[in-house]
């Protein structure tokens, strides 16, 4: 009935979802735990975005974010800790980050093109260098 199941544990709370064998016209899911929400918020935070990918016909690529990705750069995935969660990441995270954010992703910081609080796209992105960012933090923390 289901071909995969994802379980996420966050401080003792279990969030679970299943994907059916065939998913039509869906490219992402957002899941959250209702009892973690602040009822005054008009958005669902914290959340986890799950993206569904398709394989190329020859099985060498996966497709998501409107791009083709070399499957050997993604699998087998590796485990790492992020915000006290043990998560899976691509075998070669630099490949994903470079292709998605640009080869300078460690030097140029770019604002998101998506407002996660209000769930809509942002037409303009802002960019600063990592040096400018550290200088800004230094000024803010020295006050």
pLDDT at 4: 41
Residue 58 has pLDDT above 60, yes or no: yes
Higher-confidence residue of 109 and 14: namely 109
2 SS3 class: strand
Residue 98 has pLDDT above 90, yes or no: yes
Higher-confidence residue of 56 and 116: namely 56
The 3-state secondary structure of the chain, one letter per residue: CEEEEEEEEECCEEEEEEEECCCCCCCEEEECCHHHCCCCCCCCCCCEEEECCEECCCCCEEEECCEEEEHHHHCCCEEEEECCEEEEECCCHHHHHHHHHCCCCCCEEECCCEECCCCEECCCCCEEEHHHHHHHHHHHHCC
Residue 60 has pLDDT above 80, yes or no: yes
pLDDT at 39: 57
pTM over the 0.85 mark: no
Residue spans per domain, the chain: 1-52, 53-100, 107-143
The residue-averaged pLDDT of 25-51 equals 53
Higher-confidence residue of 50 and 15: namely 50
The residue-averaged pLDDT of 121-143 equals 90
Cβ proximity of 58 and 68 under 8 Å: no
């Amino acid at each position: 009935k289901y071909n995969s199941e994802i379980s996420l544990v966050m401080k003792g709370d279990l969030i679970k979802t299943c994907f059916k064998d065939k998913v039509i016209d869906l490219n992402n899911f957002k899941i959250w735990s209702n009892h973690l929400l602040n009822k005054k918020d008009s958005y669902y935070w914290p959340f986890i975005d799950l993206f569904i990918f398709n394989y190329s016909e020859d099985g060498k690529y996966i497709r998501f974010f409107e791009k083709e990705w070399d499957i050997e750069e993604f699998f087998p995935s590796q485990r790492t800790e992020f915000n006290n969660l043990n998560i899976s990441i691509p075998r070669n995270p630099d490949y994903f980050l470079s292709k998605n954010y640009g080869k300078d992703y460690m030097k140029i910081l770019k604002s998101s093109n998506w407002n996660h609080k209000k769930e809509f796209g942002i037409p303009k992105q802002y960019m600063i260098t990592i040096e400018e960012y550290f200088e800004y933090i230094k000024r803010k923390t020295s006050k």
